[in-house]
Amino acid sequence: MTSIDVLRIIEEGDKFLENGDREKALERYDEAISIEKQCARAWYKKGNTLSKINEDDKALEAYEEAVSIRPGYAEAWYEIGNIHSSLKRYEKALEAYEKVIKINSKCLEAHYKKGNILSNLKRYKEALKAYEKVIEICGDRLKAGKKTNKMKLTYAKAWYKKGNVLGNLKEDREALEAYKKAVEFYDEVINEEKDNVEALKGKRAAVSKRDKYDELEESIRDTTGGLYKRGNILCDLGRYEETLKVYKEAVKIFKDKSRADEKTNEIRLECAELCNSTGIALYNLKRYEEALRAYEEAIKLYEELKADEKTEEIKLKCAKAWYNKGNALDDLNRHDEALRAYEKALELDPKDAFVWNNKGAALYNLGRYEDALKVYEKTLELIPENAYVWNGKGAALYNLGRFEEASRAYEKAITLNREYASPYANLGELLFAHGNLENASENIDRAYNLDEKHTLALLMKGKIEIEKEKYDSAIKFFQKAARFDLGNPLSLLWVAYAKYLKAESSFSKEDKAYQEEIFAVIRELERAYDLSKNYPQKKLRTCILYYMGYFYYKHGDIFTAKERLEECMKLESKIEKLKELIRSESKIEKLKELIRSESSIKPRTRELLNYIWDYKIKPTWWRWWWFSPSYRYLKKGLFLISLILIPSLLLFHPLIPGKWPWIKVGWSIYSIIVLLLILVLLSPNIGKIKVKEIELELRSPPTFEFFLSPREMEPEGDL
C-alpha cells in the first residue's frame, strides 16, 4: 500500500507535468521513489515524463522497474511496447503488447498497435487477426451503446487497416468491402464533428482506396487494354511488384500484335504508354536505373510517333515521359541531366507547373539558387497557392542569405498546407541559425509530429538537444535520422560529434572511458566515410576526413590520422577542384564555386597535419623535405636546389677567380652561404625541439544542406 505522503508527492508531480514543468515533475517522482522504492506508480509516472523529453532509454528503465514491482501493470507494459516500436525493436514491442493483451484482452490500443507492427513486418495474416480483434471489440462496444466518436474513429481506422492487409494478401474483394466499411464510419464521425481532421484525412484515404479497388474489380482481365488498366490501378495502390508482372503480360500481347500486323501507330502509342508506366512502377521501387531505361524507351517511341503524327496528345505524353526521366535522374543525383530533361519537357509543354517546380529543384540541387528562385517565381504564376513551391522558394532565398523573405515564404507554405512538415522544419532551421531557440524548437516539434521520419526535423531536434547539453538525447535523434536517410553521411557525422561532446563533458582525457568514447566516435566516422564516397557533396566528405584525422590523432593512431588528413588536403586542393570543373557539365556554376571555395577546414587540416608530421612522426631531415605532406612539391624543389648548390659552391669556387676575376668573394662568404644552406636542410630537426601540444578547437559539422526531391510534390510519377 502506497503511503499518503508518497501519493501527495506524485500528485504534485502530476500538476507540474500538466503545467509543462517536466524538470520539477521529475524531481517529485524521484522524491516519491526515494521514500518508497517499490512504488510502481511513481516509476510509471517518471517513465512518462522521461518519454516526453525523449529520454527513451531512461524511460524504458523506469517502466521496467514499474512492471518488475507490479507485473500486471498493463499501462506500463503498453508504454514499453511503444518505446520499442519507436526504436524499431519490433519483436520486443510485440512481446510487450502481448503482455498487455494477456492482462487485458479487451485493450483496443494494444491489439491495434500489434496489428501495425505485424503489418510492418509483413506478417499479414497475423496482422489481419489483430485488426479483426479490434473490429470485434469496437463492434461489441458500439452495440452496447458506447457510440462515442473516439470509438467510431478507432473502428473506422481498424477497417481501413484491415483493407490494407487484405490488399497485401491479394484478397481484393474483401479489401474493397473493408474500405467501404471504413468510409461508412468515418462519415458517422464527420457528421457529428465536421472539423475532425483525423476523420477527414482518414476518409480521403479510404475513399481513394475504395474507388481504386472498385476499378480493379471492373477491369477486364483478358485483353491488353484491361491488363494495362489493371496495372495502372495496382500502381496507384502501391503494389508495384504486381504492377510489373501485369505490364510484363501486356508486353507479350503487344509483341504478338506487332508480329501479326504491321507496327501501327496505335500499337506504338500503347507500347510507349506501357514503357512509361513500367518506368513509374520501377521508380517507386527505387530501381532508378531500370526506370530510366524504361522512360528512354517511351521517349524514343513517342518521338517516332511525333514525326508521323504531330498531335497535341502525343506531344504532351512525350513531355510527361521527359518529366519522369528527369525525376529518376534527380534521384540518381545526376542533377545536370535532370535539368536538361525538365527543359525538354517544358519545350513540349510549357504550362506544366509540376515540371517547372522540379526544374527549380534541379537548379537548387546544383547550387544555382538565383536561377532556382526565378523558376519558382514562374511556377507560382501557374500555381500561386501551392505549398511545395513556396517551400522551394523559401529554400532558395535562405541559401541566398535573404532570410526575412525566406521566413515569409515558409510561413506562406505552412498557411497553405498545415500537414506539410518541410516548411516547419526549414523555418525551424532558419530561426535556430538566428538564435531564436524557443520558436525554432516549436516549429521543429511541429514538423516532427507531422512526420517522425523527416530527416531535417530529426537533425534539428538533435542540434537543439546539444544546445541544452542533453547529449544522449541528441545522439538518439541523429541515429534515428541515420536510420531513415540511409545514404546520407551527415547524420552519422552528427552522431560522432554528439558522442565527442558527451565524452568531453563526462570524462577526463586520462580516463579509459574517454578513449573508449573516442573509439566509438571513430567507428561512426568510418561509417560516414564509406557513405561519403558515393555522396555528391564533396564538401561533406572533406569535413568527415578532417574529423577522422582529428580523432585518430586523439586516439593515438598518428599514421592513420596523417593518411586521412592528407586525403582531406587532396580533396581541398585547387587542382582537384579544377579536375572536377573540367568533368562537370555545369562549368560556370562549378567555376563560381571554385572562386568562392576557400574552405575553413583547409588551414585547420594543414596545421594539424604539419604538427603530426613534425612533432609526432618526427621524420629524418631528408624525409621531412622529400615526403612532406604539405607543400610537397615546393619542399622537394628547395631540397634539390640546396643539394645541388652546396657541392657546386664548394667545387667551383677555385675556378671562379680565374674565369671571372671581377668576382671577388672570399672563402669566408662561401663558407657562410654553404653553412646557411646546410642549416636550412637540417632545420626540420632543429624545429623538433618544440614539444608543446597543439590546441585545436573542433568546430561543429557543417549546416544541413539537403537536395530538394521531386518525390515531395508528386511522389508517384505521372502516367
- Compute the distance between CA of residue 623 and CA of residue 135 in angstroms, rounded to an integer: 78
Instruction: Compute the average pLDDT of residues 383-394.
Output: 95
What pLDDT, on the 0 to 100 scale, is given for residue 389? 96
Most confident option among 261-270, 310-319, 341-350:
341-350
In this prediction, residue 321 carries a pLDDT of 96
CB atoms closer than 10 angstroms to residue 568: 27
Q: Does 439 fall in a domain?
A: no
Grid cell locating 430 = 532558419
Last residue of a domain, one of 167, 202, 231: 167
pLDDT at 660: 56
Q: How confident is the model at residue 594 (pLDDT cuts 50, 70, 90)?
A: very low
**Lowest mean pLDDT, pick from 181-185, 369-373, 376-380, 530-534:** 530-534
Q: Please, are residues 319 and 714 in contact by the beta-carbon 8 Å criterion? A: no
Predicted local confidence at residue 5, as pLDDT = 81
* Average confidence (pLDDT) over 650-663: 58
Mean pLDDT of 486-495: 89
Q: What is the span of the domain harbouring residue 650? A: 619-687
Could you identify the residue written with the cell 500486323?
261
Q: Is residue 675 part of a domain?
A: yes
Query: Confidence band (pLDDT; 50, 70, 90) for 255?
Result: low
> What per-residue confidence (pLDDT) applies to 535?
78
Q: Which three cell numbers stand for residue 479?
A: 541515429
Give me the pLDDT at residue 307, please.
Answer: 64
Q: What is the pLDDT of residues 292-310, one digit of tens each?
A: 999 999 999 898 886 666 5
User: pLDDT category, 216, cuts 50, 70, 90?
Assistant: confident
pLDDT of residue 211: 86
Residue 63 forms part of a structural domain:
yes
CB 372 within 8 A of CB 389: no
What is the per-residue pLDDT across 22-67, written as a single tens digit (0 to 9) for each?
Answer: 889 999 999 999 989 999 999 999 999 998 887 888 999 999 999 9
For the chain, the average pLDDT equals: 85
- The one-letter code for the residue type at 321 is A
**Contact of 496 with 476, CB cutoff 8 Å:** no
Q: Is residue 310 part of a domain?
A: no
Is 362 among the domain residues? Answer: no
Report yes or no: 76 and 47 within 8 Å, Cβ to Cβ. yes
| Nearest C-alpha neighbor of 392 from the set 368, 618, 230, 631 | 368
695 lies in some domain: no
Sorted by sequence, the CB contacts under 8 Å of residue 99 that are 6+ apart come out as 67, 74, 77
Between 415 and 220, the higher pLDDT residue? 415
CA–CA separation, 496 and 518 (whole Å): 9
Asked if residues 186 and 202 have their Cβ atoms less than 8 Å apart, the reply is yes
Q: If phi over 0 gives left and psi between -120 and 50 gives alpha, with beta otherwise, what is residue 47?
A: alpha
Question: Could you say which DSSP state residue 711 is in?
Answer: T
> Please, which contacts does 464-472 make with residues 24 or more away whose CB atoms are closer than 8 Å?
464/432, 464/437, 464/440, 465/54, 466/498, 466/501, 467/437, 469/505, 470/53, 471/498, 471/499, 471/501, 471/502, 471/505, 472/55, 472/57, 472/502
Q: Does the residue 509 lie in any domain?
A: no
Residues 6+ apart with CB under 8 A from 332: 288, 289, 292
Which are the contacts of 596, defined by CB distance < 8 A and separation ≥ 6? none
User: Can you read off the three cell numbers belonging to residue 395?
Assistant: 529554400
Q: What is the CATH number of the domain that holds 25?
A: 1.25.40.10
CB atoms within 10 A of CB 692: 7
Check residue 132 and give its pLDDT. Answer: 95
The winner for highest mean pLDDT among 89-93, 142-146, 695-699 is 89-93
Residue 174, in any domain of the structure:
no
CA–CA gap between residue 371 and residue 228 (Å, rounded): 40
Within 13 Å, how many C-alpha atoms sit on residue 238's CB side? 8
Distance CA 244, CA 569 (A): 48
Tell me which residue of 83, 24, 35, 95 sits closest to 59, measured CA to CA: 83
Q: Which of the residue ranges 190-194, 581-585, 642-646 has the most confident prediction, judged by mean pLDDT?
A: 190-194
Domain boundary among 167, 192, 225: 167
Instruction: Give the relative orientation of helices 224-236 and 265-284 as an angle to the nearest 10 degrees.
Output: 20
Residue 50: all three cell numbers together: 522521461
C-alpha cell at 628: 612532406
Q: pLDDT tens for residues 513-553?
A: 888 999 999 999 999 999 888 777 778 888 899 999 999 98
Tell me the per-residue pLDDT of 630-646, one tens digit each, with 9 for 90 and over.
777 787 788 788 777 77
Query: What are φ and ψ of residue 534, in 5° steps?
Result: -105, 10
Confidence label for 83 from pLDDT (cuts 50, 70 and 90): very high
- In the chain, the number of structural domains is 2
Final residue of a structural domain among 117, 146, 167: 167
Neighbours of 605 (CB within 10 A): 26
Q: Determine the Cα–Cα distance for residues 66 and 74; give it in Å rounded to an integer.
A: 10
How large is the average pLDDT for residues 561-589? Answer: 65
CA–CA distance, 699 with 604 (Å, rounded to integer): 10
Residue 596's pLDDT is what? 47
pLDDT (tens digit, 9 = 90+) per residue, 172-184? 889 999 999 999 9
What average pLDDT score do residues 107-126 get? 94
Q: What is residue 484's predicted lDDT score, i.e. its pLDDT?
A: 87
Helix 224-236 × helix 240-260 angle, to 10°: 160
Largest Cα–Cα distance in the chain?
Answer: 125
Apex CA 193: angle with CA 191 and CA 198, to 5°? 105
pLDDT at position 267 is 77
Can you give the pLDDT at residue 703?
72
Q: Which residues, including other chains, have CB under 8 Å from residue 568's CB and lie 6 or more apart?
A: 542, 545, 546, 549, 601, 605
Could you give the CA distance from residue 147 to residue 138 in angstroms, rounded to a whole number? 9
> Would you mind telling me the total number of residues written for the chain in this entry?
719
Please tell me the predicted confidence (pLDDT) of residue 252. 76
Band of the pLDDT at 223, cuts 50, 70, 90? low
Quote the pTM value: 0.74
Give the three cell numbers for residue 337: 541531366
Positive or negative, the CA dihedral 232, 238, 240, 245 is: negative
Examine the pLDDT at 583 and tell me if it is beyond 80.
Answer: no
Q: How far is CA 532 from CA 256, 460, 492, 606, in A?
A: 48, 21, 10, 21
Per-residue confidence (pLDDT) for residue 665, from 0 to 100: 55
Q: Residue type at 448?
A: Y
Q: What is the pLDDT of residue 355?
A: 96
